[in-house]
């Protein structure tokens, strides 16, 4: 009822008590009680005689009932396990996945005290300012294709940030999301597999939302940024979480139906690490060369100084 009521108010226009009660099929008294409860939770709702109610501001929380009114998905984000503070959402998501949770289950946290980054690094996720979430996927794809899901996540998050906050971000292969060269989002994809079969994939996404520049630790201040630091406006984290789910679900479905090829152009449209010289630090060597693009499988193609072409599966990229 609360989510439906919020959905009605989300239009940004006045909605009369009569209209609410008819649309939701409940009494005017029930509507009035819900509006009172919403106000107590920090929603600013104006009431004007003969016009009705208008939502002026939502509290900056991203509890499941804050996210749901913005969700337009079948499964992604329909089940949210929300935590105020956790060490990391990744192991929790592994736990739910191992217990056969539904695909699309989301573990969402307001703060992480021990966030995990790629290559054993740490990820700073401040309380109330960031989004930390891990999504459970169960694709029936060969194990070696699992890294492609990282590229899908990058496209989904980039599109969501643009639609919610109006920022056009860039993707650095495979999955760093940058704005003017500074990191806005990190993505960490982990999987569980039997020798010959993928069991599940956890896509961890960390979004810097409402940090001021001074909120980043000294070592990050020159390399990281947030949506608020760039736009000057607070972003509604609940709406952003929902929009990532909305984008991710259709992109994932298109990928399952038609393969990575169908997503490649969406990824390339945002990529800054193609058609340029770069260093690729792979686990075995550092390759310097010209990035020709990505393959239909999502591997990075780099031509080195000697004209030899390398297909890169995993690397840290320096432009």
Residue 123 binds to ligand BTN (criterion: CB under 6 A): yes
Which one, 31 or 62, has the nearer CB to ligand BTN? 62
Burial class (CB in 10 A: 0-12, 13-18, 19+), 307: exposed
DSSP, res 40: H
Residue 118 binds to ligand BTN (criterion: CB under 6 A): yes
Token pair 């709406």 is at which residue? 239
Residue 174 binds to ligand BTN (criterion: CB under 6 A): no
DSSP codes of every residue in 239-298: HHHHHHHHHHHHHHHHHHHH-THHHHHHHHHHBSSSSEEEEEE-SS-EEEEEEEEE-TTS
Residue 90 binds to ligand BTN (criterion: CB under 6 A): yes
Window of 51-59, 72-80, 202-210, 251-259 that interacts with ligand BTN by CB under 6 A: 202-210
Q: Is 197 helix (H, G, I), strand (E, B) or coil?
A: strand
Binder among 115, 139, 147, 289 for ligand BTN (CB under 6 A): 115
User: Can you say how many angstroms the Cα of residue 39 is from the centroid of all Cα atoms in its chain?
Assistant: 28
- Cα→Cα distances 29→26, 36, 50, 57, Å: 8, 11, 17, 23
To which H or E segment does residue 158 belong? helix 148-165
Binder among 88, 110, 148, 210 for ligand BTN (CB under 6 A): 88
Cβ of residue 231: shortest distance to ligand BTN, in angstroms?
21
Residue 281 binds to ligand BTN (criterion: CB under 6 A): no
Binder among 69, 77, 139, 206 for ligand BTN (CB under 6 A): 206
Residue nearest ligand BTN, Cβ-based:
186
What does the alpha-carbon distance between residue 304 and residue 287 come to, in Å, rounded to a whole number? Answer: 7
Residue 132 binds to ligand BTN (criterion: CB under 6 A): yes
Binder among 36, 121, 127, 180 for ligand BTN (CB under 6 A): 121
Cβ of residue 175: shortest distance to ligand BTN, in angstroms?
7
Which one, 106 or 251, has the nearer CB to ligand BTN? 106
CB 136 within 8 A of CB 159: no
CB 244 within 8 A of CB 106: no
Which one, 5 or 241, has the nearer CB to ligand BTN? 241
Window of 13-21, 25-33, 43-51, 182-190 that interacts with ligand BTN by CB under 6 A: 182-190
Residue 104 binds to ligand BTN (criterion: CB under 6 A): no
What does the alpha-carbon distance between residue 167 and residue 246 come to, in Å, rounded to a whole number? Answer: 18
Residue 105 binds to ligand BTN (criterion: CB under 6 A): no
Window of 4-12, 75-83, 119-127, 295-303 that interacts with ligand BTN by CB under 6 A: 119-127
Phi, psi torsion values for 227, nearest 5 degrees: -65, -45
Task: Kindly list the residues in this chain that would bind ligand BTN in the complex (CB under 6 A).
Answer: 88-90, 112, 115-118, 121, 123, 125, 132-134, 186-188, 204-206
């Amino acid at each position: 009822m609360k989510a439906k009521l919020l959905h009605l108010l989300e239009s940004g226009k006045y909605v009369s008590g009569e209209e609410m009660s008819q649309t939701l099929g409940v009494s005017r008294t029930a509507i009035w009680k819900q509006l009172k409860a919403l106000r107590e939770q920090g929603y600013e709702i104006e009431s004007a005689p003969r016009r009705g109610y208008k939502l002026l501001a939502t509290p900056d929380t991203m509890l499941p009932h804050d996210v749901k009114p913005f969700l337009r998905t079948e499964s992604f984000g329909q089940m949210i396990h929300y935590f105020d503070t956790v060490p990391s959402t990744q192991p929790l998501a592994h736990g739910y996945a191992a217990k056969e949770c539904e695909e699309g289950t989301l573990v969402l946290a307001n703060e992480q005290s021990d966030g995990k980054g790629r290559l054993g690094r740490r990820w700073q996720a401040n309380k109330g300012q960031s989004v930390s979430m891990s999504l459970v996927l169960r694709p029936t794809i060969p194990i070696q294709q699992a890294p492609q899901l990282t590229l899908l996540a990058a496209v989904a998050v980039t599109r969501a940030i643009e639609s919610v906050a109006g920022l056009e971000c860039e993707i650095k292969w495979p999955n760093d999301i940058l704005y003017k060269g500074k990191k806005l989002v990190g993505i960490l994809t982990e999987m569980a597999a039997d020798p010959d079969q993928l069991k599940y994939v956890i896509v961890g996404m960390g979004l810097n939302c409402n940090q001021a520049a001074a909120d980043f630790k000294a070592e990050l201040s020159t390399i990281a940024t947030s949506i608020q630091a760039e736009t000057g406006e607070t972003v509604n984290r609940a709406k952003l979480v929902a929009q990532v789910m909305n984008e991710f679900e259709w992109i994932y479905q298109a990928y399952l139906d038609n393969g990575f090829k169908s997503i490649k152009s969406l990824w390339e449209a945002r990529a800054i690490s193609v058609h340029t010289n770069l260093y690729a630090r792979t686990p075995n060597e550092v390759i310097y060369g010209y990035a020709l693009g990505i393959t239909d499988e999502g591997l990075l193609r780099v031509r080195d100084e000697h004209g030899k072409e390398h297909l890169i599966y995993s690397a840290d990229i320096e432009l």
